[in-house]
């Protein structure tokens, strides 16, 4: 028995070793160089060569352009077994500390290593060395600062503009009306940033603005600006669509930054670190917006970019009083949200409902991309053969600089005679229990009859005319009310005005769901949507023209109390800052939600149109 146990243990050990060895040998060899892409003259930095297998030999590249120390060798390994699967990871590093001898771009060649008799190489890396290594005492053109006062632990420091500023960067400063451009709000720093203290975003008067989704935390990358290297972080990115020609101005934005610096210690236990709060203000930016060429086609949709159009109908033959749908899908890149649906001439005998418009659009650094789907529900009322004529859709192609036209084909719809159920009223749902026999099959025969002499015809009676007049008046009243309702439903602005409160409450319910999940980002997004879309619908202000200034002017007509207006403005600013601040603001979600509810209720009471 002992011999059998030893054999089993020996076999298991061999199997485990084979499995471990196969896992080890099966791994891919990875050999790479890691270093900074940009450094400043006089700055020391690391160059690390990483290998995931034990090297039998290592040959570094030439480092003649740098003063250096090294290499310093290091290694680490780990093994894990999950569900019988053995995984081993190893890391062997060769680290150099480099200091550039002069400014310029330098290529560090490939390092070589030998693993199990086979040679592996890294990819060459390029390091850009900028500046002259001397600190400048001038004021950068990147922005201005305004310093305030604070206590000893949260003090202020004058003259931080050289090492800390904000800018608005544009990917283009000249564009057509409707052409999209990207504004990037960035922070440049050469000091340690530990927190943010309030942010006021710029206004985009004359633009339709769409935020690009970014992470809550700021990622800093090294960038050169005015001959110096900074850690640059993106605070916010916005796709802007100019709505009018001329020179448009993007206002400055403000950011409070808490930075940390080392000062002489004041006691033995003092670590010498102090926090300083600085209010940064970016410069304004100007954009030259050119008007579109004058020869606009009659069917110009307002679209600017590159688009395609696909048109389909659900059926081309159907009985009368049944529904079919026509779907128009516009795809491409550009100002999709602002495109107007094409004009389609439907036959007079077709009942056509207001189209259902669905935008599936993603906004990134390349602009807005996706589809706009316009779906019409159509009900032919009479038998016959009908033609939906071809229609066209024109847009301005930025790359070509010309108007382009997309056309559909002509559709012939054959409408057959509808079934009886579609044109007649049928009484159904009767059961045997609905019919009851009272008394007997043969009613009681009366013995005496009373006859009365006819005094006149029914049409000559007062009752006949009374019923006729009353029914006619009722019919006219119903007809007037029906036509009024049809006109109101056709007036999309009026419908949105009436439903603004209901729609905003639905959005608040969605915000409440995010609040329950403690999802602050989506919570603030829904609160902002509820507020701004309510104002857009209630005051009939198109989203493309809706700015904070215009909203405040329009609200002031109905809300005369300045305190109530300022509470709304403060709520909107709080949500804007909380949504885009990099993870430092959480806020009291319940309080914000309560304020939003009260604001909507206040607007509903005071805005009467």
* Vertex 144: Cα angle to 141 and 148 (nearest 5): 155
**SS3 (DSSP) at 2:** helix
Q: Residue 302: name the closest of 395, 190, 383 by CA.
A: 395
> In whole angstroms, how far apart are CA 16 and each of 10, 19, 23, 86, 115?
10, 5, 10, 9, 24
Rounded to whole angstroms, the Cα distance separating 73 from 57 reads 13
pLDDT the model gives residue 269? 58
Kindly report the CATH number that applies to the domain delimited by 492-606: 1.20.120
Rounded Cα distance, 383 and 399, in Å: 48
pTM of the predicted model as reported, rounded to 2 decimal places: 0.53
Residues of the chain with pLDDT under 50: 1, 4, 17-26, 134-160, 420-442, 444, 582-586
- Give the C-alpha separation, 6 to 293, whole Å: 91
Cα angle value 116/122/125 (rounded, 5°) = 170
For 144-290, which CATH class?
A: mainly beta
Q: Which fold has domain 2-130?
A: Immunoglobulin-like (2.60.40)
Q: pLDDT value at position 271?
A: 62
Distance of alpha carbon 576 from alpha carbon 211, whole angstroms:
11
- For the segment 558-583, what is each residue's pLDDT rounded down to a tens digit? 887 888 888 888 888 888 777 665 44
DSSP 188-232: EESSEEEEEEEEEPPP-TTEEEEEPP--SS--EEEEEETTEEEEE
Strand 285-290 to 174-176 pairing: parallel
CA distance 300 to 324: 27
Q: Which residues pair with 154 in a beta bridge?
A: 275
Rounded distance between C-alpha atoms, residue 223 and residue 37, angstroms: 9
For domain 300-420, which architecture applies?
A: Sandwich (2.60)
d(CA 97, CA 371): 52
Q: What is the pLDDT of residue 598?
A: 87
DSSP string of 432-492, one letter each residue:
GGG----S-SSPPPPS--------S-GGGSHHHHHHHHHHHHHHHHHHHHHHHHHHHHH-H
**Cα dihedral angle (582, 362, 596, 503), rounded to 10 degrees?**
-170
SS3 235: strand
Cα gap 574→592, rounded to integer Å = 9
71: cis peptide before it, omega within 30°? yes
Which secondary structure element, helix H or strand E, spans residue 532, and what is its range? helix 520-538
Chain centre distance of CA 579: 12
Which pLDDT belongs to residue 249?
Answer: 93
Q: Give the phi and the psi of residue 422 in degrees, each rounded to 5.
A: -90, -15
Asked whether the beta carbons of 77 and 27 are under 8 A apart, the reply is no
pLDDT recorded at residue 133: 52
């Amino acid at each position: 028995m002992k011999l059998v146990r030893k054999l089993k243990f020996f076999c298991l050990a061999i199997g485990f070793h084979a499995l471990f060895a196969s896992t080890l040998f099966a791994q891919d060899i990875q050999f790479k160089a890691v270093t900074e892409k940009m450094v400043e003259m006089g700055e020391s930095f690391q160059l690390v060569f990483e290998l995931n297998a034990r090297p039998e030999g290592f040959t570094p590249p030439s480092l003649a352009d740098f003063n250096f120390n090294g290499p310093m060798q290091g290694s680490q390994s780990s093994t894990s077994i999950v569900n019988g699967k053995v995984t081993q990871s190893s890391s062997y590093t060769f680290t150099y500390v480099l200091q550039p001898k002069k400014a310029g771009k330098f290529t560090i060649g490939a390092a070589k290593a030998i693993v199990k008799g086979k040679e592996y190489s890294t990819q060459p890396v390029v390091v850009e060395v900028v500046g002259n290594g001397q600190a400048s005492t001038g004021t950068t053109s990147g922005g201005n600062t305004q310093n305030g006062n604070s206590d000893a632990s949260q003090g202020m420091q004058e003259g931080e503009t050289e090492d800390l500023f904000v800018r608005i960067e544009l990917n283009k400063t000249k564009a057509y009306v409707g052409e999209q451009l990207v504004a990037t709000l960035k922070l440049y720093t050469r000091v340690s940033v530990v927190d943010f203290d309030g942010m006021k975003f710029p206004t985009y008067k004359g633009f339709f603005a769409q935020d690009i989704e970014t992470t809550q935390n700021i990622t800093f990358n090294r960038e050169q600006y005015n001959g110096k290297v900074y850690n640059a972080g993106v605070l916010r990115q916005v796709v802007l669509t100019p709505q009018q020609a001329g020179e448009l101005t993007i206002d400055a934005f403000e950011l409070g930054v808490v930075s940390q610096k080392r000062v002489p210690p004041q006691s033995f236990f003092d670590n010498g670190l102090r926090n300083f709060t600085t209010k940064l203000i970016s410069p304004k930016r100007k954009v030259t917006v050119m008007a579109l060429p004058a020869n606009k086609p009659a069917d110009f949709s307002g679209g600017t970019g590159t688009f395609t159009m696909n048109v389909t109908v659900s059926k081309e033959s159907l009985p009368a009083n049944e529904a079919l749908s026509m779907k128009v899908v516009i795809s491409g890149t550009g100002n999709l949200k602002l495109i107007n649906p094409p004009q389609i001439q439907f036959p007079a005998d077709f009942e056509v409902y207001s189209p259902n418009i669905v935008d599936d659009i993603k906004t990134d650094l390349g602009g807005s991309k996706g589809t706009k789907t316009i779906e019409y529900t159509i009900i032919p009322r009479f038998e016959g053969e009908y033609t939906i004529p071809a229609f066209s859709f024109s847009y301005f192609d930025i790359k070509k600089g010309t108007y382009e036209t997309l056309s559909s084909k002509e559709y012939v719809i054959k409408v057959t005679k509808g079934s009886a159920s579609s044109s007649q009223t049928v009484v159904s749902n009767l059961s045997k229990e609905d019919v009851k026999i009272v008394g007997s099959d043969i009613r009681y025969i009366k013995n005496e009859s009373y006859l009365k002499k006819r005094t006149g015809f029914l049409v000559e009676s007062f009752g006949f005319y009374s019923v006729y007049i009353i029914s006619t008046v009722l019919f006219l009243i119903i007809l007037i009310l029906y036509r009024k309702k049809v006109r109101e439903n056709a007036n999309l602005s009026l419908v949105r005005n009436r439903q603004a409160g209901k729609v905003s409450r639905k959005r608040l319910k969605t915000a409440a769901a995010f609040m329950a999940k403690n999802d602050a980002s989506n919570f603030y997004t829904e609160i902002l949507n509820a507020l701004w879309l309510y104002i857009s619908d209630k005051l009939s202000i198109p989203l493309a023209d809706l700015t904070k200034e215009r909203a405040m002017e329009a609200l002031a007509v109905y809300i005369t109390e300045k305190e109530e207006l300022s509470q709304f403005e403060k709520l909107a600013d709080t949500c804007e800052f909380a949504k885009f601040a990099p993870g430092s603001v959480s806020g009291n979600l319940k309080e914000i939600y309560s304020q939003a509810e009260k604001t909507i209720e206040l607007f509903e009471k005071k805005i009467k149109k």
